[in-house]
Amino acid sequence: MIEGHPEARSRLLSTSGCKTAWTLIWSCTEGRFNWYYDFDETIMILEGSIVLEGDGMPPKRYGVGDVVFFRSGRRVTWYVEGYVKKVAFCRLSNAPGLGYAIRALNKVRSVIRRNNPALVPALACFNLLA
Residue range 7-14: mean pLDDT, rounded: 96
Distance between start and end Cα atoms, the chain: 39
For the chain, the structural domain boundaries read 3-91, 96-129
10 within 8 A of 26, measured Cβ to Cβ: yes
Q: Give the DSSP letter of residue 79.
A: E
| Architecture, CATH, for domain 3-91 | Sandwich (2.60)
Q: What is the β-pairing status of strands 3-4 and 21-36?
A: antiparallel
Please report how many Cα atoms fall inside a 13 Å half-sphere around the Cα of residue 129, on the Cβ side.
Answer: 17
Q: Is the pTM of this model over 0.85?
A: no
Nearest residue to 47 (alpha-carbon basis) of 23, 26, 78:
26
- pLDDT band for position 105 (cuts 50, 70, 90): confident
- Count of other CB atoms within 10 angstroms of residue 58: 7
Q: For 15-42, what is each residue's pLDDT tens digit?
A: 988 888 999 999 999 999 999 999 999 9
Q: For 35-72, what is each residue's pLDDT tens digit?
A: 999 999 999 999 999 999 998 889 999 999 999 999 99
Strand partners, 67: 44
